[in-house]
Structure formats: C-alpha cells, structure tokens
C-alpha cells in the first residue's frame, strides 16, 4: 500500500504529539504492508497556517529518527498536506506555501467541513483542475451532505476532481452513513484512492488489512490493488492513475434493480468494474 493521507508528523496537528508515537505509527504501517506514507498535516490557505518549510523540516527529522529502526525505516516518508478547501487554495499552491502530494506533483489533497459542502466548493475544485492541478478530495463519504449527494460528487469528478475514500469508512469505523456511502462509491466506480487518514498506530494495525480484504472481496484483488497501491503510487510519482468511468444514474438504478433476494447488490466482475478509462485527467 502507498498511503497518500496520514497525520504521522509529531506536534503539527491532531496527530501524534511525540516522535516516539510517529515511529510506532511507521512500524505498525510496515506490519500492515504499507510501503510509503505521505505526511499530510492539516493546512489552510491563510498565512498563519502550516507552511511547506515547516512540513519539510518535520519530515526530515522523522526520517532521521527512523533511520536506525529496521521497521520504521523500511517505510518511505514523503511530504504532503491536507488543505481545507477554500477560494485561496490555488494561490497558496501556486506560491508554494503548501505542498502537493510528494511536494513536486500536481496532485493536491483537499478536504471539506464534515457537515456541509460550502457554496464555493465545486468552483474551487474546478479552478484547481483548470489551472493544472489534480484536486484529490479527502474522505467525501464522511461529509454528511456529500455522502447523500452522489449527483454533486459526480459533477465534481466530471470537472476534474478525484475521490479518496478512507479505509476505515468501508469497514464501518465511522458509522453506517459513511459506510454505505463508501460501499456505494466503490460500486459506482467513484473512488480513485483509498488511504488511512491515520492519526494513531491503531489505524494501521486494526483497519488497513481488514479494509484491503473487504474491498478485494467486493470488487476483486486487481481493482482493490489499484485503489490502495497502484493509483496512489502513480499520483506520488506525478503520473496518471487508472480512472474508471463512473456509473451514471440510469446504470446505477439498473444495478440496484438487480439486487438478489438476499438483499445483496450484484457486484460487477473486476474487469467490468474497471470499465474504460475515464477522461477527467
């Protein structure tokens, strides 16, 4: 797994407070099969928020601390950020004030408030895409409004945004609404990455192996590997991920009408799930 969303840096946000906790997170990530972590502390566009130089310094220090630890040092650590989406994000990225995923790509991890979608959100995402960035929306299934507005999510995807699902959501760690949205996003091919959003070691040990197996059981190993590994690795390298064409409303209703008597949705085989390449990148 290449984890493009993790709060592993100590003392910068609501992640670990001590470097020993960060090292334990890296050890637990290694045990869960994670090969690379992008450190994505919370950032905002205003000048008082965390800046690239602070994040880069924290990454350098954590790499140095991990150097003598056989487990922690086997996990590559990269610069990144998770930015609250607002109209100033593009200017902050252009100025280099906040880093993209990996620090030198055009993939920008952004998030929304948890309860609602601001009026400017779709326009801000489109502005990023129109100016050459690839906005990656973190955990949309945990936004109360967006989790029930697949029409809005589809518009965002069609206008250039990619969706990053949280591993814990798929296995019920954030309640039934987020879980159902996560399942529907997978079934509707509206998920492009799955990441941990880890704040503590338990997010890796307890959730990642469980989530990988659950997603693979639903859509097949190859498609699951793309979401946990291949697509995140491509983004980190600044390359185009594999993007499946999303399931539009008419096809989705046809699939739902195909539900079995047991109440389980008939899941598309992996090759059909994969579909044809989309054109939103």
Instruction: Answer whether residue 280 is part of any domain.
Output: no
Instruction: Answer whether residue 162 is part of any domain.
Output: yes
- Which pTM does this prediction carry? 0.90
Query: Is pLDDT of 271 > 60?
Result: no
| Structural domains in the chain (count) | 1
Instruction: Answer whether residue 254 is part of any domain.
Output: yes
Instruction: Answer whether residue 248 is part of any domain.
Output: yes
**Strand, helix or coil at 29?**
helix
The whole-number pLDDT of residue 202 equals: 83
Instruction: Answer whether residue 172 is part of any domain.
Output: yes
For residue 264, what are its two tokens? 């389980």
Phi and psi, residue 239, nearest 5°:
-110, 165
Instruction: Read off the pLDDT of residues 129-178 as tens digits, 9 standing for 90 and up.
Output: 999 999 999 999 999 999 999 999 999 999 999 999 999 999 999 999 99
Query: Is pLDDT of 276 > 50?
Result: no
DSSP element (H, E) containing 36: strand 36-39
Instruction: Report in angstroms the alpha-carbon separations of 59 from 22, 40, 135, 234.
Output: 11, 10, 23, 21
The whole-number pLDDT of residue 262 equals: 43
How many Cβ atoms sit within 10 Å of the Cβ of residue 99? Answer: 29
Instruction: Answer whether residue 78 is part of any domain.
Output: yes
Query: Is pLDDT of 2 > 90?
Result: yes
How many Cβ atoms sit within 10 Å of the Cβ of residue 27? Answer: 21
Q: Give the mean pLDDT of 220-234.
A: 96
DSSP element (H, E) containing 39: strand 36-39
Instruction: Answer whether residue 236 is part of any domain.
Output: yes
User: What are the beta bridge partners of residue 39?
Assistant: 6, 79
Crossing angle of the two packed helices 176-187 and 208-219, in degrees rounded to 10: 40
| Residue-level length of the chain | 281
Supply the range of the domain harboring residue 73.
2-274
Q: Give the mean pLDDT of 3-26.
A: 96
Instruction: Read off the pLDDT of residues 35-64 as tens digits, 9 standing for 90 and up.
Output: 999 999 999 998 888 999 999 999 999 999
Instruction: Answer whether residue 279 is part of any domain.
Output: no
Instruction: Read off the pLDDT of residues 50-99 as tens digits, 9 standing for 90 and up.
Output: 999 999 999 999 999 999 999 999 999 999 999 999 999 999 999 999 99
User: What is the CATH number for 148?
Assistant: 3.20.20.140
- The model's confidence at residue 256, banded by pLDDT at 50, 70 and 90, is low
Q: Which runs of consecutive H residues, i.e. helices, occur in the chain?
A: 19-31, 52-66, 89-94, 121-130, 150-158, 167-170, 176-187, 202, 208-219, 221-225, 231-236, 249-257, 270-274
Asked whether 35 and 226 are in contact (CB, 8 A), the reply is no
């Amino acid at each position: 797994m290449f984890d493009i969303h993790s709060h592993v840096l100590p003392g910068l946000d609501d992640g670990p407070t001590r470097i020993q906790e960060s090292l334990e997170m890296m050890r637990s990530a290694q045990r869960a099969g994670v090969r690379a972590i992008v450190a994505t502390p919370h950032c905002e566009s205003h000048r008082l928020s965390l800046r690239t130089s602070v994040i880069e310094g924290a990454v350098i220090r954590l790499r140095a601390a991990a150097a003598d630890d056989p487990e922690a040092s086997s996990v590559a650590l990269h610069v990144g950020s998770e930015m609250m989406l607002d109209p100033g994000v593009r200017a902050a990225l252009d100025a280099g004030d906040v880093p993209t995923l990996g620090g030198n790509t055009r993939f920008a991890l952004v998030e929304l408030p948890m309860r609602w979608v601001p009026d400017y959100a779709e326009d801000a995402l489109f502005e990023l895409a129109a100016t050459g960035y690839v906005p990656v929306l973190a955990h949309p299934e945990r936004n109360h409004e967006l989790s029930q507005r697949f029409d809005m999510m589809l518009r965002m995807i069609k206008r250039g945004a990619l969706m990053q699902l949280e591993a814990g959501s798929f296995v019920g760690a954030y309640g039934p609404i987020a879980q159902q949205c996560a399942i529907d996003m997978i079934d509707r091919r509206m998920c492009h990455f799955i990441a941990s959003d880890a704040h503590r070691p338990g997010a890796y040990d307890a959730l990642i192996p469980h989530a990988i197996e659950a997603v693979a059981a639903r859509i097949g190993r190859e498609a699951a590997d793309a979401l946990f590994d291949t697509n995140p690795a491509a983004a980190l390298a600044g390359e185009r991920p594999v993007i499946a064409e999303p399931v539009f409303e008419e096809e989705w209703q046809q699939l739902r009408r195909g539900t079995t008597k047991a109440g389980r949705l008939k899941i598309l085989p992996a090759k059909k799930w994969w579909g044809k390449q989309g054109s939103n990148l």
